[in-house]
Amino acid sequence: MSGAWREYLGLGVALGALVLAFGALTDHFLSRATFAVIASQVPAAILVAVGMTFVLILAGIDLSVGSVLGLAGAVLGAALGPLGLSLPAGLLATLLTGLLCGALNGALSVYVRLPSFIVTLGMMEIARGTAYTVSRSQTAYLGARVEWIAETTVLGLSPATLVALAAAAVGQIVLSRTLFGRYVVAIGTNEEAVRLSGIDPRPIKWIVFAASGLLAGLAAVVHTARLASADPNAGSGLELQAIAAVVIGGTSLMGGRGSVVRSLFGVVIIAVLGTGLAQMGAAEPVKRLITGCVIVAAVVIDRYRNRSQGREGQ
């Protein structure tokens, strides 16, 4: 346990340093309002990052999450708009859309044995295309029907933030405490060894991809609620942002290693960077430059940390 806390310490310090730096560089960064803004922005990214963490630990990748979010959001927009469904029915349709996309990704990559990179790249296009079709490429304004989800209620947190934090907590517990999580780590470490131990890795992998899709669907609800609109372009580029956040959190792209809580830190670090740089009034090129540097630096630091630990043991 103490080991785990020490692991979080490094990221916590990095985050703290970032917050203090922005505090010094701007007039109003260190305020309740800023943190409320960040808290309202991260839920969708957290949900997607939770799923992505599992996928990366499996040594897979899911490039479709951004587009699936867009599609699920468009479904929500269509359900509440032209189709005139009730909110529960609309939410159900949204989540089912995400689940279906994820399940399809999983089925193709696991049972047809295609690389997940290719399968989800295909899904990325398919889902986006479908999103445009479903929404007729129009942004739908949903207003108060969904806004309450993103509105602050309990302890200064919105239902959306609470759902995201709950998903992260559940994800971390599943990963570290359950049979399923242990299998996920083992498969990501050496799938053949797991198979030869008499465990069928396929259903486990399939569930992980399906869950990633479902979480993207949930993220779509949260995202749509925050903006009170269903935008068919929503989530474009989110897959890379999620991968960046997860990697900042120290999850290995090679599989077998990762932590949901650390991914959460990654998401928050990226959100703080975005908000802080905007408050500083940094120009677009500078923002991109700095964000890129932070991602690379995080991975470099993580690599050194691992190597020094590896050396200790050898």
Interface positions, 189-208, toward other proteins (CB under 8 A): 189-190, 192-200
Tell me the closest approach of the beta carbon of residue 70 to other proteins, in angstroms. 10
Nearer to other proteins, 37 or 294 (CB): 37
User: Given CA atoms 127, 91, 212, 294 in this order, what sign does their dihedral have?
Assistant: positive
Nearer to other proteins, 223 or 262 (CB): 223
Are the CB atoms for 208 and 184 separated by under 8 Å?
yes
In 3D, which of 266, 211, 260 has the Cα closest to residue 241? 266
Encoded amino acid at 297, one letter? A
Task: Label the pairing between strands 140-141 and 229-230.
Answer: antiparallel
Does 88 bind other proteins (CB under 8 A)? Our answer is: no
Q: Binding marks (x or -) toward other proteins, 138..157, rule CB under 8 A?
A: xxxx-x---x--x-------
Which of 85, 132, 253, 301 touches other proteins by CB under 8 A?
A: 132
Q: Which residues contact 175 (CB under 8 A, 6 or more apart)?
A: 53, 54, 57, 181, 184, 185, 258, 259, 260
Tell me the closest approach of the beta carbon of residue 168 to other proteins, in angstroms. 18
Which secondary structure element, helix H or strand E, spans residue 95, and what is its range? helix 87-106
Are the CB atoms for 7 and 262 separated by under 8 Å?
yes
Interface positions, 274-313, toward other proteins (CB under 8 A): 274-276, 278-279, 281, 283-284, 311-313
Q: Which stretch binds other proteins (CB under 8 A): 53-61, 84-92, 178-186, 291-299?
A: 178-186
Binding residues for other proteins, how many (CB under 8 A)? 66
In 3D, which of 23, 39, 275 has the Cα closest to residue 156? 39
Please state, as a whole number, how many other Cβ atoms lie within 10 Å of the Cβ of residue 32.
Answer: 8
Site residues, other proteins (CB under 8 A)? 26-29, 31, 33-34, 36-37, 40-41, 128, 132, 136-141, 143, 147, 150, 177-180, 182-183, 185-186, 189-190, 192-200, 223, 226-229, 231-236, 256-257, 274-276, 278-279, 281, 283-284, 311-314
